[in-house]
Amino acid sequence: MKRLFNTYIKNNLGLINLFGKTLGRFLFLLLTSFFAYKLSFKDFAAFAIFWTTLRMLTFFSANNLYIIYFNEVRDSLIDKKEWPAKVSSNILFTFIPLGLLSSIASFFIFDNLLIAVLMFPSILLFIIIRNISEFSKSDNSVYLSIFIEDFLFYFIFFVTGIISVYFYTSLIGIVMSLFLTVLITAITSLILFKNKFNFKINTFKIRFKDFSFIDLRLGMNYTILRGNEFLSSFCVRYLGQIYFGDVFVSYAHIMYQFYNLFTLITMSVISGMQSKITVKKDFIFDKEFVKQTYVKILKTVTPFVFGIILVIILFNSQILDLFFPKYIQYSELLVKISFIGLIYMAFQPLVFILLYNNKVSNLKLLNFTQYIGITTVYLLPFIFPKFNEQYWLLMAMTIFIIIQGLFAVVSFKTIK
């Protein structure tokens, strides 16, 4: 047993990251199950739309700078024991306009001034948590990242979320509990990050002269590339409520929780291996490196993905009855969702190996193609009012995965 641990688990950053994220997401699954049980279809649908809106707006406001600056932060923290001032400046000055636009957008989505006001600081705090979590992997250790983003955040939200629903069985109570959660988590993450790397605090500066429009534009290209997943998650709930009603939004949100198990497994391993996937300046990036990294990721991911698919096929009704008893009639849909997770596992490792190393070719064409495709899917129920709602959900989940995957294969073939 000890030999198995030392050879397969101890130095496998992806696997360690996966175990940590699984704990956090399990807490969130329990909390979602509690909300689904206590709230009406309408209130639960409102929570589903709010949660996906916050995640989407946070993603767009963060602008993927933690990917662009990972190498720079790693070199500065490890070699110089300094925080690069350019990074904090660009994070803040990118957030301010995008965060303001996000708050304005949230007001029109929810028609509630309190939610719009809380959205701005909540997004900022989420961005702090996200960046600290990613940059904390600079020394090839994922433990602080796991503790901050996957245990601390979800544990506090689990506690405050349950309390809020007992006092206020409405969306406002959940919004307040979430704001308290991100505030505590962000403050804690900053303290722990400073203690871990022991860098000079005087290098943490905010200077407008450090702002880079080139990095902003590069970040926006990657945000557009990856943003379709968050946009799709939001539009399925928001447009789904318009097309099909609150019940659809409620069960679609639950299906996404199970779909997220597959994205969690794949992305946890990829994220945990980020420092090894992202090559240093003096390293040769070639097809052999891509193949070896892709196979290494799949060796870690495959047993878990196939295991979950098998469990869902055998026990789909029992799973829904245990966690979401009001939605047990959607057991067959759950099985179909699991196979989308298999497609995700096959394509996304290659996409992110290329993305982390700035090797995605035809980026503008890729972004144009996937947004044309997903917009077409969004409009189908509008054009065809009797379009099957479950088919629409499956198409919205799948289309961007296939388009990105095909473009990644083309990009891979151009590498020497």
Note the pLDDT of residue 8. 47
H, E, C per residue of 173-240? HHHHHHHHHHHHHHHHHHHHHHHHHCCEHHHCCCCHHHCCHHHHHHHHHHHHHHHHHHHHHHHHHHHH
| Residue 3, pLDDT above cutoff 80 | no
For residue range 32-42, what is the model confidence (pLDDT) as tens digits? 888 988 888 88
Structure tokens at 25: 């997401």
The contacts of residue 196 (CB under 8 Å, 6+ apart) are 136, 139, 144
Note the pLDDT of residue 307. 93
**More confident: 364 or 346:** 346
**More confident: 18 or 409:** 409
For the full predicted model, state whether its pTM sits above 0.85: no
Q: Which domain holds residue 22?
A: 2-414
Q: Distance between CA 366 and CA 372 in Å, rounded?
A: 10
Kindly state the percentage of the chain with pLDDT values over 70: 93
| Residue 7, pLDDT above cutoff 50 | no
Note the pLDDT of residue 390. 95
| Residue 211, pLDDT above cutoff 90 | no
Q: Distance between CA 155 and CA 160 in Å, rounded?
A: 9
Domain count, the chain: 1
User: Is residue 285 a contact partner of residue 415, using CB atoms and an 8 Å limit?
Assistant: yes
Kindly state the percentage of the chain with pLDDT values over 90: 34
